[in-house]
Structure 1
Amino acid sequence: MGLGVTCPWGSRLSGLQVRTWIEPVVASTQVAGSLYDAGLLLVVKESFAPKAGGSSNHSASQSLRGYQEDQQQKAISNFYIIYNLVIGLTPLLSAYGLGWLSDRYHRKISICTSMLGILLCRIGLLLKVMLGWPVEVMYGAGALSGLCGGFSAYWSGVMALGSLSCSEGRRSLRLILVDLILGLAGFCGSMASGYLFKSMVGHSARGLVLTACSVSCAAFALFYSLFVLKVPPESMSKPNKVCPTVDTVSGTEGTYRTLDPDELDKQNVSTNPLTPEKRKPSRTILVLLFVGAIIYDLAVVGTVDVMSLFVLNEPLKWDQVQLGYGMASGYIIFITSFLGVLVFSRCFQDTTMIIIGMISFGSGALLLAFVKKTYMFFIARAFMLFALIPVTTIRSAMSKLIKDSSYGKVFVILQLCLTLTSVVTSTVYNKIYQLTLDKFIGTCFVLSFFFSFLAIVPIGIVAYKQVPKSQEESAGK
């Protein structure tokens, strides 16, 4: 299945072991992605920019400019409605098949194929900037990336290789660190995006350096994964027989366990079977966790999609550099959420951490609705420091309710639900944003605040169902 590895692993920093690290691929791909996201938004904005027109009447010209800016916002929103549908739905045709091929033939199939599509999509934006193609060509570029598996196939392949490269006891920490690398790389790319977009003189070439850097990073990631990256021996992912994995800290173990379907911990399943008494309530709790994750994802996706349009319009009206800073602030959440899990898991249960994250995001979304100045925007983002905790911890909680052999099936179903939710949410939120643009521009953020706190309801029920059991156990002791 994987590449044969016969070299001894005596040195922890041997050249062969370094070649099994997935971090260089993750970092370069994420830098390329953050540059691409910023570049696409700025290119689309310029494509729909209102044409300059003279007017002797100052008040009339002001009114006309305001009308043109509203029309530009609606045009950008309509573009992203179609674009998000394309990149959200097309991976459903190929991602599962690529995962199946990776499980049975070679672990790098899903990574390399999806990264080829990502590279072609970045090249599409570069050609649009160089040749002046219509912006609608990006629909085709997005579809091409999706048909090659998109982010879904790429990230599942990354998680599988990360699982194989360490023992089960170290797997959770290793993959959380991969998430941290993802956030740091995105932060760096976003910080540089505004400067790179403005670095080329001349209106026809604006964004050329930015898109070229994005293509270069994506090409490096593809060639690294093809010719340098090695598949680690599967024996590394087996449980430690001397020190078996024990969930001693709630919320930190089991988050990314057994992502590789070929590595089933049969011993753990046999020693911890689900009794008939636990199966029924576990199913109920599992459904509640699904509902909580879907509602919360609805709030997050809607806010993120509208936020990029919001900062380009009045009252903020950011330029390219400010937009890069704003996008970079979103990646700081990867760091703070990671630190939050490490700290909160020592004091709170999984459900409490999930609720903390939902309250954090909901509070920030409500503040965004009333932002008038740039500093107010960053204050609102500061309230969202723990926004990534809920979905990660929900996966951790699910892993403690099901058998190891069901991890892949349950997580695939969850990811499919989140993907479909994202597609529908993006369309609905963009339409709501257009309809409320002239009335109250923060309507979508208020809606996200409502959904974020609504997601607390099923999580609260889970917490309520678990409290009596813990009390009975303590009383019995």
Structure 2
Amino acid sequence: MKRLYFIEPIVAIYAFASFMLYPLIQQYVYRRLWLEITNSSYPVSNDTSRCAANSSNHTSQQEEVQKAASLFSMFSELSSLIPSLIVTLLLVAYSDQRGRRITIIMPLVGSLIYTLSFLAVSFFELNLYLLIAASFVSALFGGISTMLGGCFAYVADLCVDDKQKTIRMAVVDMMIGLLAGVASISTGYFLHATGFNWPFFTSAIFQVVNLLYAIFLLEETRVIDSSETVACCQALKKLACGIYYLFSGGSSRKKWVLVLLIVTFSSLSFVNTGGLSMITLYELNKPLCWSEILVGYGSAASTSIFITSFLGLYLFSLCLPNTVIVLIGMLSILISMLMTAFAKTTLMMFLVRIPAMFAIMPFPILRSMMSKVVSEFEQGALFACVAFMENLSSNVSATVFNKIYADTVAWCPGFVFLLCTGLCIIPISLLGILRFFHPLDSNDTQALLSEDGTEASDDPPVA
């Protein structure tokens, strides 16, 4: 059977299945905790808001449920943190020796296990805290950062032109937003009509299809000698050496630029993920009290920024340098977080998505800039480090912001978004340092590679 070099279908199906699941998870946990804490059924309304059904005497109970749901999310993130970090680093870097497909297939298996766990807990009404154990088990296969790290390394293998690489990475991000938006809208109505079981089951079916495509149809980009056998300890040694050489080899300028790019990427991911992880709980709380349908529309509006960011990146790249485009994206995140902190009406909550329309632009550009700094033999090691740092920043930020939200929800629910606004100064400052001392354009990145002599070498570094 002829295999394909298209990674986009995997990203698209994964985005659809995952973003059908993500809004459901927080709402399912929220409703189960509501039932346990208040000992009453969850108020369901066909109106745009549940606030009319949620009278003032329930305010203290609602704050308690908000706090419990936030802490549950924190424990879930903590349970998956360590295994997902280790697996991400090992798998994506190991792909330099044994191919990219393993970094894509393994997280798909873990995601399927996680979805089936939610389906089982929902269908059989099992103990809610079994989901924390499911989060740990699924993390042993890697997570979304692992899969995306493998996908971006896969794209880097296929693209030789710098602009083509940037655009195709942006297309991958756009596919996430396009399918995630469709999934988010449909999930609200799906949940309202059928409850939680059918959406969980549907998500699992899509993930099975995706896994079959990755196993049987996706072609490998790295040519692997099937007769070559690598001992486990030898493979790990090569892995460690590849990552070590990434930061120890080459000129000091290259190392300094690479570290600065990774730290900028990680700090921005920390702020963006931390803020976004609290959106659903914020929408379920007073004074918004959104219904499941409005939560779906809100999620779709949030994911539409992947499309607007792609269009913005394509147009801005025609006339602006990369660092300026990244700065526009960072300011987009800052302004939207500031507006969210003061959003008290449904209209205002939807309007905060407008300044966020370019919020995704920095990520594909920073990935592309990092990819240009290293040689073709270091792509797996690079994206392993990037995926590791992205995974670390995402999990830590979700944990930290859930704890902060639990402590501040009673007196200032929007405090976490004000904190995000202040923390945006860090990646903006790092970008300013990079722009002032080392403005990176195509000639500069080629110069960095020439300084290392990596382009002159036909073989990767061998330990």
Normalising TM by the smaller chain, what interval?
0.7 to 0.9
> How do 1:74-473 and structure 2 match up within 5 A?
74-99=67-92, 102-105=95-98, 107-165=100-158, 168=161, 170-200=164-194, 206-231=195-220, 279-466=251-438
Decide whether aligned partners of structure 1 residues 415 and 115 sit closer, same or farther in structure 2, where only a CA change above 3 A counts.
closer
Q: Cα offset for 1:313?
A: 0.2
Question: Compared with structure 1, are the counterparts of its residues 347 and 162 closer, same or farther at alpha carbon in structure 2 (3 Å cutoff)?
Answer: closer
Q: Which residue of 2 aligns with 1:268?
A: none
Q: Moved runs in structure 1, 4+ residues, more than 6 A?
A: 467-470
RMSD, matched Cα: 2.9
More contact order relative to length (CA 8 Å, sep ≥ 6) = 2
Return the alpha-carbon distance in structure 2 between the equivalents of residues 23 and 350 of structure 1: 24
Which residue in the other structure is 2:63 paired with?
70
Query: 2: distance between equivalents of 1:164 and 1:406?
Result: 11
Distance 2:95 2:369 in 1: 27
Unaligned runs of 5+ in 2: 42-53, 225-238, 243-248, 443-463
Cα distance in 2 for residues equivalent to 1:115 and 1:469? 36
| Conserved 8 A contact 1:433-1:441 | yes
Moved more, 213-222 or 425-434: 425-434
Q: Normalising by the residue count of structure 2, what TM-score does the alignment of the two structures yield?
A: 0.80
Instruction: Report the CA distance between 1:83 and its aligned residue.
Output: 1.0
TM-score, normalised to structure 1, is: 0.77
Q: For residues 225-284 of structure 1, what are the alpha-carbon distances to aligned partners after superposition, in whole Å with 9 as ceiling and x for unaligned?
A: 22333336859xxxxxxxxxxxxxxxxxxxxxxxxx9xx9xxxxxxxxxx99xx444444
> For residues 289-336 of structure 1, what are the alpha-carbon distances to aligned partners after superposition, in whole Å with 9 as ceiling and x for unaligned?
333323322211221111121011011111111111111112111111
Kindly indicate whether the alpha-carbon contact (under 8 Å) linking 2:107 and 2:143 is maintained by their aligned counterparts in 1: yes
Larger Rg: 1
Q: CA deviation at 1:122?
A: 0.7
How many Å separate the matches in 1 of 2:372 and 2:160?
A: 18
Count of residues paired in the alignment = 404
2:45 is the counterpart of 1:52: no
Relative distance call for 1:282 and 1:216 in structure 2 (3 A) is same
| Aligned partner letter, 2:393 | T
Letter in 2 for 1:16: K
Change (3 A) 1:134 1:312: same
Taking the TM superposition and a 5 Å limit, the aligned residue runs for 1:4-19 are: 16=2, 19=4
| Distance (whole Å) between structure 1 residues aligned to residue 202 and residue 309 of structure 2 | 29
**1:23 alignment partner in structure 2:** 8
What whole-Å deviation, never above 9, does each CA across 1:166-213 have from its counterpart, x for those lacking one?
65564443333222222211111111111111222xxxxx21111111
List runs of 5+ in structure 1 lacking aligned partners: 1-14, 54-60, 201-205, 236-260, 265-274, 471-477
The answer to whether the 8 A contact 2:153-2:380 is kept is no
Whole-Å separation in 1 of the counterparts to 2:253 and 2:283: 45
In structure 2, the CA distance between the partners of 1:449 and 1:126, relative to structure 1 (3 Å rule), is: same
